[in-house]
Amino acid sequence: MIDSLKDKVIGVPMGGLSAEREVSMKSGRAVASALKNLGYNIREIDLTADSIKELLAVEIDVAFVALHGRFGEDGAIQGMLELLRIPYTGSSHSASAVAMNKLLSKQVMVFEGIMVTPFEALHIDEFKNSGVASLTLQLPLVVKPVNEGSSIGVSIVRCNDELFKGLEVAFEFDTTVLVEKFIKAREIQVGILNDKALGVIEIIPKNEFYDFDAKYSAEKAEHVFPAKLPEHIYNEAMELGLKAHRALGCSGGTRTDLLLGESNEMYVLEVNSLPGMTELSLLPEIAGGVGIEFPRLCEEILRSAKLNIKSAVR
């Protein structure tokens, strides 16, 4: 399939129904433009609530999934593509679902012996009935929806009033909320391409943490690549990022987010199974830093497309 991809119709699903729709549109357009310039036959597919059914009728041979958030990064679109026997980029539907779910992914990593920040989960019904009585972690805390990306609905809370407000915000996006111990740390990310760690970047946000604004506004955060770390710490981060990627069964291009504590201890925050592909996105920046320019990165991800069940020939 690799040698004949330029004879195929490559669909690029983008947009979608999640809170990250606009980011996904930017990712999809950037990918589509890069692949078109390399001579691929590209069909851009803007998925909306009204157009998802149209995907069933779109004649494509391979899908480059450029969706983020729910229904795109959580295994939903992957499962549909598998039913349609259309090879696609990224992780399988099961790996995507686990990686997207912050609670499940942490539980898997704990099982695999990977250190994560101390955490608890709170369901909205429990919150309505008993407030925060079940929580045992001490302030300060980080509150986030279980199934959202791009730091949507995330709060750092330092007192009970902030905790209740943060939970109310997070519950606007999900019925289950993850509550994590806040740890003062450096934010580093590991880019991974086709089961190989590419490098480590450090993000120095001008806000309290790497929030939505910082991720998509150039002036809100400083990017340092390669991260200024001792060689052994840098290598350890590379190994840990790849270990987390493998623990969740991810594939293609991913990004593992880590916290580096004051004593150089490392915690895995999450693995992004479909990281952003915009001009400010970290995987393209890391890849570019090691000599893989954006068009080649897109092509390498495309060439890794597969059907995650038997009978991959369509």
Question: Kind of pairing, strands 196-205 and 221-224?
Answer: antiparallel
Catalytic-residue membership of 216: yes
**Residue 43 bears catalytic tag:** no
Going by C-beta distance under 8 Å and a sequence separation of 6 or more, which residues neighbour residue 119?
A: 103, 106, 137, 178, 179, 180, 181
Query: CB 262: neighbour CB atoms within 10 A?
Result: 9
Given 187, 276, 299, 308, which residue is catalytic? Answer: 276
Catalytic residue among 92, 96, 272, 304: 272
Residue pair 201/144 in contact (Cβ under 8 Å)? The answer is no
Q: Give catalytic status of residue 158 as yes or no.
A: no
The residue annotated as part of the active site, out of 16, 18, 20, 61, is 20
Is 120 noted as a catalytic residue in this protein? Answer: no
Active site residue 40: no
Which residue of the set 216, 252, 267, 308 is catalytic?
216
Which of 252, 257, 267, 281 is the catalytic position?
Answer: 257
Asked if 270 is an active-site residue, the reply is yes
Burial of 276 (0-12, 13-18, 19+ CB in 10 A): buried
Give the Cα separation of 41 and 46 in Å (integer): 16
List 24, 150, 155, 273, catalytic entry: 150
Residue 272 annotated among the catalytic residues of the structure? yes
Q: Which of 148, 187, 211, 270 is catalytic?
A: 270
Q: Is beta strand 41-47 parallel, antiparallel or unpaired with respect to 9-15?
A: parallel
22 is catalytic: no
Catalytic positions? 20, 150, 216, 255, 257, 270, 272, 276
